[in-house]
Amino acid sequence: MAILLLSAPSFAFIVTVPDETINVAIGSSRQIDIRVDSGIPEDIQFTILDPKPWITQDTTRIRLNGDETKDLRIFVTPSADTQPSVYRISLLAESLISGETQKKFIFININKLDIVDVERVIISGNFTPTSQIVILTTIKNYKARTVQNIRVTSSISAPSSKLIEFEQNIDSLDSGETKNFTYTFTLPPRSESGLYTILTMVSAEGETSEKTRTFTVLSQAQFAKESKKEPLVFGYKKSTTVTNIGNSEDDALLTETLSGLDAAFYSGEQPTTMKGSEFAWLLKDIKPGESRTMAFRVDYSPLFLFIIVILIAGWVFFFKVRIIKVKKFILEKKFIEEGEEFTVGVEIANSTGKKVENATVKDFVPSVFEIKEGEGPKPARKKTAAGTELVWKIKDIHKNEERILSYKIMPVFGVHGRIRLPQASVSFHRGKKEMEIRSPYTSIGIETENYGEKKGVLKRKK
């Protein structure tokens, strides 16, 4: 036993090939997996010693770490001119580190195919949730006669469930003829990551053949965004909802371009970054299926209020301040007695900001008063039943100039208390428009509750 063990070869790596003969039909293809194991780091080169044009390998060199297993894939694709037979294929494995070699034999039986088969399945797409997957399937009739009523079924399965199934019927397929089918489907939101399987089966005349292909759906977050903009009285409100329709948790970045005016009146959630007109919000750790909403407002109300204030101020300045102001006053403060003399003053001031060439000042004296001439310009008089209208025509009132017109009045009888006198007015032209400004009301006399007592007190004081 010891002698036998010592005489047996010992390898640092192990190459395992199939024990059985591999059957491959002409016109079809077959993948043969060769297992390679090593307990120590290895760098192994593989060579097919008796190569055939219809035999290929995916690589010629495999590197292994300690305690690692990898597969060498060999593809057998006999064409129509390949001679049917059993072939012995010699595979040489050589360690580039230790120089050890191993020689393995693979037996392949090439025979004629007499079925309707799935010739190929090609898969293309992004392989992420919500992306489109395109499957191109080719069916070929290897029989020497026409075959009718062929049924083709393709099913797609996720790692833990079956997703969808397609079915197509072929009424007739001549010998050697091929038929292509293209299936397109969309991976659902939040599709689980992992290995997906496509199984294509073709059934004809009681025989069934199949081909399996796989693809991997990546782990990736995907975000669907829905924005809603609502008008305000002055401005607008905008909200954006972000939903993770992918299969992995991640952060979402929202960006918004705001004009300088909008940015000045922005209110809402503080942006993560602001660069010029670019606002950005980072929504962290959004789980698959989770939704987050970010909202902000652009309210121009302060701007409109400011404009209104400016307009009011401008209106006041140009129409209430930049005018000829008129004021009416009584110089003496005394009781209204018959024959007492009162001086009435009318003051006008030019606040228009420029010279006024012509102005007309008017005042009215009720019939309970007699008029006496005062100092300064004399007014024109116009008597009516209610009293006398006084009119002054004034020329060349310079900017910021003030003038006072005066006259005297005497009551024709005594009156308890005070009497409110009519307003004085001044009219002038601003451009083509005539403007008339009235003075506030003024009163003559002294207010008293007991005129007799007040009078007696005044006499005693004298």
Q: Is 116 exposed, middle or buried (0-12, 13-18, 19+ CB in 10 A)?
A: buried
Same domain, 32 and 45: yes
Q: Which of 1-15, 27-41, 61-75, 93-107 has the lowest mean pLDDT?
A: 1-15
Distances (CA, A) of 29 to 80, 85, 201, 207, 398: 12, 16, 16, 19, 111
Q: Which of 202, 198, 188 is nearest to 156 (CA)?
A: 198
Residues 201 and 238 in one domain: no
Whether 275 maps to a domain, the answer reads: yes
Inter-residue contact 180 to 101 (CB < 8 Å): no
Task: Specify the range with the lowest mean pLDDT, choosing from 237-241, 251-255, 273-277, 312-316.
Answer: 312-316
Backbone angles phi, psi at 3, to 5 degrees: -65, -40
Strands 30-38 and 266-268: unpaired
- Same structural domain, 332 and 429: yes
3-state SS assignment for residue 435: strand
Domain count, the chain: 4
Instruction: Output the CA angle 184-176-167, nearest 5 degrees.
Output: 30
Q: Quick count: other Cβ atoms within 10 Å of Cβ 89?
A: 20
Judge contact between 423 and 441, C-beta under 8 A.
yes
Task: Say what the pLDDT of residue 201 is.
Answer: 92
In a domain, 453, yes or no: no
List pLDDT tens digits, range 321-367: 578 889 999 998 888 888 889 999 999 998 888 888 899 999 999 99
For the chain, give the percent of residues with pLDDT over 70.
Answer: 92
Average pLDDT, the chain: 86
| In a shared domain, residues 161 and 249 | no
Query: Model confidence at 179, in pLDDT bands (50, 70, 90)?
Result: very high
**What confidence category does residue 421 fall into, taking pLDDT thresholds of 50, 70 and 90?**
very high
461 part of a folded domain: no
> What tokens appear for 99 in the block?
């120089």
Q: Are residues 355 and 410 in the same domain?
A: yes
- The yes-or-no verdict on residue 389 having pLDDT over 80 is yes
CATH of the domain at 70: 2.60.40.10
Name the phi and psi angles at 304, rounded to 5: -65, -40
pLDDT tens sequence across 113-154: 678 888 889 999 888 998 999 999 999 888 878 999 999 999
**CATH number of 331's domain:** 2.60.40.1530
Q: Are residues 329 and 442 in the same domain?
A: yes
Name all contacts of 375-379 with Cβ < 8 Å and 24+ positions apart: 375/406, 376/404, 376/405, 376/406, 377/405, 379/405, 379/407
Query: What is the predicted pLDDT for the residue at 42?
Result: 92
Which of 162, 182, 217 is a domain's end point?
Answer: 217
The pLDDT of residue 317? 59
Q: Is the per-residue pLDDT at 112 higher than 90? A: no
Confidence of residue 458 (pLDDT cuts 50, 70, 90): very low
359 and 267, same structural domain?
no
Residue 3 is assigned to a structural domain of this protein:
no
Asked, for residue 160, whether it belongs to a domain, the answer is yes
Write down the pLDDT at residue 199.
93
Q: Is residue 169 part of a domain?
A: yes
In a domain, 142, yes or no: yes
Closest Cα partner for 420 from 325, 336, 324, 362?
Answer: 336
Alpha carbon distance 288, 250 (integer Å): 9
Spatial CB neighbours of 70, under 8 Å, sequence gap ≥ 6: 36, 62, 64
pLDDT score, position 319: 56
> pTM above the 0.75 mark?
no
Q: Please give the average per-residue pLDDT across 262-272, as a whole number.
A: 84
Indicate if 227 and 209 belong to the same structural domain: no
Cα separation, 278 vs 281, whole angstroms: 10
Whole-angstrom distance, CA of residue 73 vs CA of residue 63: 14
Both 104 and 192 in one domain: the answer is: no
Domain that holds residue 151: 116-217
Confidence tier at 79 by pLDDT (50, 70, 90)? confident
Q: Is the pLDDT of residue 46 over 90?
A: yes
Instruction: Say what the pLDDT of residue 303 is.
Output: 78
Number of H-type helices and E-type strands within the chain? 4, 34
- Provide the pLDDT confidence category of residue 232 given band limits of 50, 70 and 90: confident
- The dihedrals phi and psi of 452, each to the nearest 5 degrees, come to -65, -45
Same domain, 190 and 266: no
Angle at 10 between CA 4 and CA 13, to 5 degrees: 155
* β-bridge mates for residue 102, sequence order: 93
**Cα–Cα distance between 120 and 386 in angstroms, integer?**
117
Is 89 in the same domain as 129?
A: no
pLDDT per residue as tens digits for the range 53-71: 999 999 999 999 888 899 9
Q: What are phi and psi of 289, to 5 degrees?
A: 85, -10
Phi, then psi, of 7 in degrees rounded to 5? -80, -15
